[in-house]
């Protein structure tokens, strides 16, 4: 799906994709790998929530709950972000989250404003 930007500075809308993998890496190692990919693709961390070429987030790691200074699982703002929850529901519609809630329950309280859905092969998208 595509999401409208909601924070300053004003920047282009962005494409959101959520994937599910079965990693053989620890959460910390997986995060480092994701950040390495971002760096290779030109990501520069100059301004919080600023424009970026790519943003790879580790949202969940099974039912693992963890926090240190570099990583918090589940992602600390995941439940506040409709642009993450809607594509997550596309791949795991009945997911039980580590907080104990099920994804449909969380989505029932989400506003789909600003979300534009893309289907396979589509280039323009349709509003949710």
The pLDDT tens digits of the residues spanning 58-69 come to 999 999 999 999
Q: Long-range contacts for 31-35 (Cβ within 8 Å, ≥24 apart)?
A: 31/58, 31/70, 31/71, 34/58
Q: From CA 93, how far away is CA 102, in angstroms rounded?
A: 9
**Model confidence pTM above 0.75:** yes
Catalytic residue among 7, 32, 44, 57: 57
User: Among this protein's residues, is 57 annotated catalytic?
Assistant: yes
Q: What confidence score (pLDDT) does residue 62 get? A: 94
Q: What confidence score (pLDDT) does residue 97 get? A: 96
Q: What confidence score (pLDDT) does residue 50 get? A: 64
Domains of the chain listed by start with CATH number: 2-127 (3.30.70.560)
User: Among this protein's residues, is 119 annotated catalytic?
Assistant: no
User: Among this protein's residues, is 62 annotated catalytic?
Assistant: no
Catalytic residue among 2, 52, 81, 117: 52
Catalytic residue among 55, 77, 113, 128: 55
Q: What confidence score (pLDDT) does residue 124 get? A: 57
Q: What confidence score (pLDDT) does residue 106 get? A: 95
User: Among this protein's residues, is 128 annotated catalytic?
Assistant: no
The pLDDT mean for the chain works out to 84
Instruction: Identify whether 4 is preceded by a cis peptide bond (ω within 30 of 0).
Output: no
Q: What confidence score (pLDDT) does residue 17 get? A: 85
Cβ-contact 56, 34 below 8 angstroms: yes
Please identify every stretch of the chain with a pLDDT value under 50, giving residue numbers as ranges. none
């Amino acid at each position: 799906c595509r999401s409208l930007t909601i924070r300053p500075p004003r920047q282009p809308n962005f494409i959101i994709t959520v994937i599910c993998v079965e990693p053989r890496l620890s959460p910390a190692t997986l995060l480092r790998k994701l950040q390495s990919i971002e760096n290779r693709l030109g990501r520069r961390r100059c301004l919080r929530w600023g424009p970026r070429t790519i943003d790879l987030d580790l949202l969940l790691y099974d039912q693992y709950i963890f926090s240190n200074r570099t990583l918090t699982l589940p992602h600390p703002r995941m439940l506040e972000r409709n642009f993450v929850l809607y594509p997550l529901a596309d791949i795991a519609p009945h997911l039980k989250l580590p907080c104990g809630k099920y994804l449909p329950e969380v989505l029932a309280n989400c506003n789909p404003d600003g979300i534009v859905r893309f289907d396979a092969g589509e280039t323009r998208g349709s509003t949710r």
